[in-house]
Amino acid sequence: MIAYRLLGSLLLMLLTIGPATVLAQAYPAKPVRLVVPYPPGGSTDILARLLAEKISLSLGQQMVVENRAGATGVIGAEAVAKSPADGYTLLMGVNGPITIAPAMRPAMPYDSLRDFAPVILVADAPKLLVINSSIPATTLQEFITWAKAQPKPINFASAGVGATGHLASEMLSQRAGFPANHVPYKGGGPAIIDVIGGHVHFMFEVMPQLLPHVQAGRLRALGISSAERTKAIPSLPTVAEQGFSGFQSSTWFGILAPAGTPDVVINRLNAEFSKALAEPDMAKRLTELGAAWSPNSPADYAKFLRADLEKWRGVVTKCGAKCE
């Protein structure tokens, strides 16, 4: 009789706790995959591996980084979108396959807002706007005046069609009202060389790649694409504060799970990633990558994704064929 009473009490306790609490206590019961939709060695891969190492310790299970490159990130993103919604397959999301490709391509194998559950925005890396140092302009407004005075459209470089630098330049051209031609390159390195050489006039690119050239006088920085000034160059104004309110463009990184992943798992992951990102050594590494993190919830990240997708859809619609 006592045994039956104990069993009944245990069952009542489990019912009181609820399935969500039981799931939270059980997760994770096996290794978690973090899919990087690009090859090894890039900034997305580096950041994913740094985080996976820390998260493995706090989760009590190994977080394994898996590189699934192809189609500018779409292949890896699709694989995660179609994975079981159990918290054991995550995506290291980036602008490219999540908010830029859907804005540019008429058909996608997933819906970025419907097929993913946002976990956390882990880093945001703004871009410097730089010009060839021979151009007679030291401010953004002087550069725009110069660009409008040229007999034919000026040229801008990017790391490729659909890169964030490409669309940031299109956005500046649209809002400032000067014509500009896109010259795509196979990566940021060759593009920077040609801006230095004067073959193209300006570009947006992440700070670690450009800052040494700015400091050496080979390029001139006119602004930064973040909402606030950067600690690396506190005297450099943002593009937004130079007459273009709301102008913001960055390479961002975030953790996404398949849609339908239980909220209790999403919240557990958000807490674990937040704890890892708050550690001083992680903050230092992000600074070296030209990025930063601010605490945010899954709801915050979802709002960010909607706004980013809407912004790039607007830019692509206006620039038309140049973005195809």
Q: What is the per-residue pLDDT across 230-271, written as a single tens digit (0 to 9) for each?
A: 888 899 999 999 999 999 999 999 999 999 999 999 999 999
Crossing angle between the packed helical segments 188-196 and 207-215, to the nearest 10 degrees: 20
Question: Which residue ranges form the domains of the chain, and what is each CATH number?
Answer: 32-124+250-318 (3.40.190.150), 126-249 (3.40.190.10)
* pLDDT (0 to 100) of residue 102: 92
Output the pLDDT for position 321.
43
Residue 149 banded pLDDT, cuts 50, 70, 90:
very high
Tokens 């960055």: give the residue: 250
Q: Mean pLDDT of all residues in the chain?
A: 90
**Model pLDDT for residues 193-218, shown as the tens digit of each residue:** 999 999 999 999 988 889 899 999 99
How far are the Cα atoms of 44, 136, 164, 242 from residue 142, in angstroms, in the given order? 35, 8, 24, 11
199-231: string of b/e by CB count within 10 Å (b at 16+)?
ebbbbbbbbbbbbebbeeebbbbbbbbbeebbe
Confidence at residue 324, expressed as pLDDT on a 0 to 100 scale: 47
Res 105: pLDDT: 86
Q: What's the whole-model pTM score?
A: 0.83
pLDDT at 112 over 90: yes
126-136: average pLDDT = 96
Q: What local confidence, expressed as pLDDT, does residue 288 receive?
A: 81
